[in-house]
Amino acid sequence: MAAAAPSSARRMSHTQFIELLRRRASCPRHGEALHAWALKSGAASHAPVANSLINFYSSLPRPLLVAAFAVFDDIPPAARDVASWNSLLNPLSRHRPLDALSRFRSMLSSSTVLPSPHSFAAAFTAAARAASAPAGTAAHALACKIPSAVSNVYVCTSLLNMYCKLGIVSDARRVFDGMPQRNSFSWSTMVAGYAAEKCSEEAFDLFRLMLEECPSEKSEFVATAVLSAVSVPLGLLMGEQMHGLIVKDGLLDFVSVENSLVTMYAKAGCMGAAFHVFESSRERNSITWSAMITGYAQNGEADSAVSMFSQMHAAGFTPTEFTFVGVLNASSDLGALAVGKQAHSLMVKLGFEVQIYVKSALVDMYAKCGCIADAKEGFDQLYEVDIVLWTAMVSGHVQNGEHEEALTLYARMDKEGIIPSKSTIASGLRACAGIAALEPGKQLHTQIVKYGLGLGAPVGSALSTMYSKCGNLEDGMSVFRRIPDRDVIAWNSIISGFSQNGCGNGALDLFEEMKMEGTIPDNITFINILCACSHMGLVDRGWEYFSLMTKDYGLTPRLDHYACMVDILSRAGMLKEAKDFIESITIDHGTCLWRIVLGACRSLRDFDVGAYAGEQLMELGTGDSSAYILLSNIYSSQRKWNDVERVRHLMRLRGVNKDPGCSWVELNSRVHVFVVGEQQHPEAENINAQLRRLAKHMKDEGYHSSSKLSFDEELGPLAESHEEDQLEWISAAYS
């Protein structure tokens, strides 16, 4: 039994007891048996024996601090020496810093002992962990009165670490400069303090000073601290110099140094150099793999991050929480839901799901992959939701076209008193732009002013876009003119607004102004410009801009650019040229371009090109119901009933259904949505009555639906579809 101590224990001296307890420190049951002997024999009241018991309980893999407290409290106050207090303060400073500071104050109020250097070191450590600057500075002031404390390198290093952890680097440097002697830990602590405050140049200058004053202090600890300090985008040159020195001094044998090198190169965007260090590493660990995965994810190489994660798993390494954050971010960028779910399963198995930053990445992944229900489930499970998570959810709704849900969630966040970030505001503005909700957008504008968020990226561009998409070009332009340091995104937002609101000349003028300011246009800019040319029928200028993007700016045309050119030609009635242009395109364009031509043939009554475009769509297996209906109408107008039946049969065979029409209107700060065939609106009965009245009035006035093709005199069985089109038009007109 654990309580059965050897018979010789009755004759143990205190020294023998302490030595026996030290040898059996890893076994709680043996230690408890010895404690029982000490209580029974009365030895527990002696300070050396009690101190050894306190050390035993606090040094266990799972410290039993309650037992340590009990042992300490059983020591008669007069018998407690400084070692008794230190035995309790040291573990408390690591595990329960507030209790450590309380016990330190009790020690000072005691008249029997004075704090030793180790007492102050424990107090400084506790103040750093508790983030209590007042307690730390008070302990520092007291230590200055005791010469043995301020001259001790161990105490001064603890004090230095405290100021660095509290973010008071200037005071830390004063302590460092006043130290009578320093060791490698002192140097590395000061460098790490600069690193934490992003002071890379100061950290590197301090390292150079160390090389001049005491080059023998170079160690793996100093090297990792310096590499951490220079792990910023502009710190590559300093990092490369450190790499050379590390190789020269043989410090690459330390895996912590290799990991720091990988991280440094990754944060500088040099993934090739990071991979070279990774490949040459002889002793990789989970941190090495995590650094590579996170680096790839942060530098836009999501495919490589996912591949590296698979290799890590195959190599038998256990992922850390940072690994999961990296691979989840990569899955978000790729929209790779399957990979994200696999990472989620492994995360649950290893117990990392409860950590807030891992959960944030998980919610963001599900939201960006379109699984809003899963994202919401993870979101609702969190007790403390930070602004990053709120932003991820709002942004996820917007990306999935759920603009109303995004605004509802934003309103809930605002009600709970969460102050939005720039990204949150920008997502909310995109939601308003998506449904042309001007009033909510104006409310967000007032919050931008209220919280002093300014009109820098990404807020200014999102606000300008919101006003433009709501048809308020005047306010959109006003916001645009006040955006500081306008980038290509800001220019694209205002050019798009003018283009979409029928102000093509204004869009082209803005493009010329953009070039004069020296802003280089991107692919999105040219999409907006080509759209403006399309709306104004400027075929020649469209070709000119299409050639310009490749010739002057080295941009490769994408599907959207080809679609714009096809639209320009089609709107201008140049359907055969549009057909020839499509057939000259070498990239895979799916059904997009032929659908544009087919739509134009409806208005221009070009049966031959329309039938050709429609058959191309049928061959490609389009799922667009309107393509089947338009092609059927063309054939019915030509009385080709067999072809009509064939198209209708294909439509049924492929399970293609006509998407219901949808419209919405904002009234009294509320958005009302109407969908054909649904009767969920609370005023549906009154609305239907008004629709019937309007339909009768239109019929009495001799109105004929413009949605019908003028050449389909005999629609046959498809007349039903056109009747639905007419009802959609009426619904939209009423809304």
Is residue 653 included in any domain, yes or no?
yes
Burial of 693 (0-12, 13-18, 19+ CB in 10 A): exposed
> For residue 663, what is the enclosing H or E element?
strand 662-667
Residue 262 predicted with pLDDT over 90 = yes
Tens of pLDDT, residues 328-372: 999 988 888 999 999 999 988 888 877 777 888 888 888 888 888
Residue 707: predicted pLDDT:
44
Q: How confident is the model at residue 114 (pLDDT cuts 50, 70, 90)?
A: confident
Is residue 343 included in any domain, yes or no?
no
Query: Which comes out higher in pLDDT, residue 718 or 382?
Result: 382
CATH of the domain at 588: 1.25.40.10
Residue 528: predicted pLDDT:
92
Residue 30 predicted with pLDDT over 70 = no
Residue 722: predicted pLDDT:
38
Is residue 132 included in any domain, yes or no?
no
Q: Tell me what the pLDDT averaged over the chain comes to.
A: 83
Q: For residues 416 and 386, what is the distance between their CA atoms, to the nearest angstrom?
A: 12
What value does the mean pLDDT take over residues 120-133?
A: 91
Pair type for strands 662-667 and 670-675: antiparallel
Residue 16: predicted pLDDT:
60
Residue 730 predicted with pLDDT over 70 = no
Least confident of 20-24, 70-74, 178-182, 556-560: 20-24
Q: How confident is the model at residue 426 (pLDDT cuts 50, 70, 90)?
A: very high
Residue 158 predicted with pLDDT over 60 = yes
Query: Which comes out higher in pLDDT, residue 163 or 637?
Result: 163
What value does the mean pLDDT take over residues 148-164?
A: 89
275: Cα separation from own chain's centroid: 24
Q: How confident is the model at residue 650 (pLDDT cuts 50, 70, 90)?
A: confident
Residue 428 predicted with pLDDT over 50 = yes
**pLDDT > 70: what percent of the chain?**
87
Query: Which comes out higher in pLDDT, residue 62 or 374?
Result: 374
| Amino acid occupying residue 178 | G
The two three-digit tokens of residue 28, written as one number: 């709680």
Task: Give CB contacts under 8 A, 24+ apart, made by 711-715.
Answer: 711/605, 711/607, 711/637, 712/633, 712/636, 712/637, 713/637, 714/636, 714/639, 715/633, 715/636
The domain of 591 spans 558-666
Residue 734 predicted with pLDDT over 50 = no
Sequence-distant (6+) residues with CB within 8 A of 535 are 499, 502, 504, 571
Phi-psi label, residue 452: left if phi above 0, alpha if psi -120 to 50, beta otherwise: left
Is residue 378 included in any domain, yes or no?
no
Tens of pLDDT, residues 444-488: 999 999 999 888 888 999 999 999 989 899 999 999 999 988 889
Buried b / exposed e over 26-36, threshold 16 CB at 10 Å, is eebebbbbbbb
* Number of other CB atoms surrounding residue 83 within 10 Å: 19
Residue 164: predicted pLDDT:
92
Q: For residues 142 and 101, what is the distance between their CA atoms, to the nearest angstrom?
A: 14
Query: Which comes out higher in pLDDT, residue 694 or 353?
Result: 694
Question: What is the end-to-end Cα distance of the chain in Å, rounded?
Answer: 84
Tens of pLDDT, residues 39-57: 666 666 666 777 777 777 7
Tens of pLDDT, residues 481-508: 999 888 899 999 999 999 888 888 999 9
Contact (CB, 8 A) for 695 and 626:
no
Is residue 186 included in any domain, yes or no?
no
Residue 4: predicted pLDDT:
44
**Domain count along the chain:** 1
> For residue 297, what is the enclosing H or E element?
helix 286-298
Q: How confident is the model at residue 430 (pLDDT cuts 50, 70, 90)?
A: very high
Least confident of 229-233, 245-249, 522-526: 229-233
Contact (CB, 8 A) for 309 and 343:
yes
Is residue 276 included in any domain, yes or no?
no
Is residue 50 included in any domain, yes or no?
no
Is residue 707 included in any domain, yes or no?
no
Residue 185 predicted with pLDDT over 70 = yes
Task: Give CB contacts under 8 A, 24+ apart, made by 369-378.
Answer: 369/331, 369/332, 369/335, 369/336, 369/337, 369/340, 370/335, 370/337, 370/399, 370/400, 371/337, 372/396, 372/397, 372/400, 372/402, 372/405
